[in-house]
Amino acid sequence: MDAILFLIFAAIALGCAVNLVLQTHPIASALSLIGVMGALAALYLLLGGEFIAAAQLIVYAGAIMVLFVFVIMLLNAGAEQESRKRLAAKVLGIPLLVVLLGLVGYVLQNALLPSEGVKFGAFRHGTAQDVGRSLFTIYLLPFEVTSVLILVAILGAVILARKEID
Amino acid sequence: MPPLPQSVPISWYLTLSAILFGLGVAGFLYRRNIITVFMSIELMLNAVNLSFVTFSYKLKQVDGHIFSFFVMVVAAAEAAVGLAIILTVFKNRQTLEIDEVSSLRN
């Protein structure tokens, strides 16, 4: 059952990711990216990360992608033109990518020590309680630094996007 | 076809993460629209998050979830600033083609 669920959601994620790269219209790419994020949220649930799955859906698929779609609509972005690539990139690109991914997969299959696989429900430390306790004790300083980062990002976005006052 | 295992091996998750990252790199290099390039970066960040959560499962610790959470926060900040930059570029040049914006090259 675990393997079937993993295969289903992995297939959705892979199909949407390939679609993201191949589509020429940005809005189609954005919708594919939302599909990838939804499938990844389901995979996080299978790995026992309840909180991170919810955060993935709310922050990534909700907030960030709404921002992307908003900007695409605002700029009225159309389909992009066919890119002018060198012949070497055209011929060698996809085979090299396949070789690289095959090598990575082979190394991962063989280099990892055999251990028990992922079973749904075996990892119970991914709840909001555990994540929150860790976040506000061990990782308190990074958490506070992150809030400063967000403040700076907000200021930067406002200053970049404001209308010039002459 | 070999029978499906009872539990999913860790390496399957890591391989999926590597493939998603590779697709993100491919999109980053291949696409010419600034917004699509930006979305490819988000895809790479998501792939890394999957690795973090997988290792968190393997090590039976919650730290990977925290890192993944921080990556999400940084991605949100990056998206806000990056999209503001894209808006400014479009306002000044009326184009989203990444090859047109090459004034730093010369």
One pLDDT digit (tens) per residue for chain A, 166 residues: 788 899 999 999 999 999 998 888 899 999 999 999 999 999 999 998 899 999 999 998 889 999 999 989 988 877 777 666 677 777 787 888 888 888 888 888 787 766 777 777 778 888 889 899 999 999 999 999 999 999 999 999 888 878 665 5
For chain B, what are the domain ranges?
33-93
8 Å CB contact of A160 and B85: yes
Q: Which domains does chain A have, with CATH numbers?
A: 1-80 (1.20.120.1200)
H-state helical runs in B1-106: 10-30, 34-59, 63-93
What pLDDT sits at residue A44?
93
In whole angstroms, how far apart are CA B85 and each of A91, A162, B77?
Answer: 34, 11, 12
How far apart are the C-alpha atoms of B46 and A85, rounded to whole Å? 27
- Identity of the residue in B6, B38, B53 whose CB atom sits nearest the CB atom of A44: B53
Task: With beta carbons under 8 A apart, name residues in chain A contacting B32.
Answer: 80-81, 83
In whole angstroms, how far apart are CA B26 and each of A13, A38, A95, B9, B83?
Answer: 16, 21, 12, 26, 21
Complex-level ipTM? 0.89
Rg (chain A; Cα; Å):
21
What's the 3-state SS for A39-86?
HHHHHHHHCCCHHHHHHHHHHHHHHHHHHHHHHHHHHCCCCCCCCCCC
8 Å CB contact of A68 and B84: no
Distance of CA A138 to the CA centre of its chain: 26
- Identity of the residue in B5, B11, B42 whose CB atom sits nearest the CB atom of A112: B11
Q: Which residue in chain A has the smallest CA separation from B97?
A: A80
Name the minimum distance, in Å, from the CA of A95 to any CA of chain B: 12
Interface A-B, measured as beta-carbon pairs within 8 A, has a size of: 228
Identity of the residue numbered B86: I
CATH number of the domain at B33-93, please? 1.10.287.3510
CA neighbours within 13 Å on the CB side: how many for B52?
A: 22
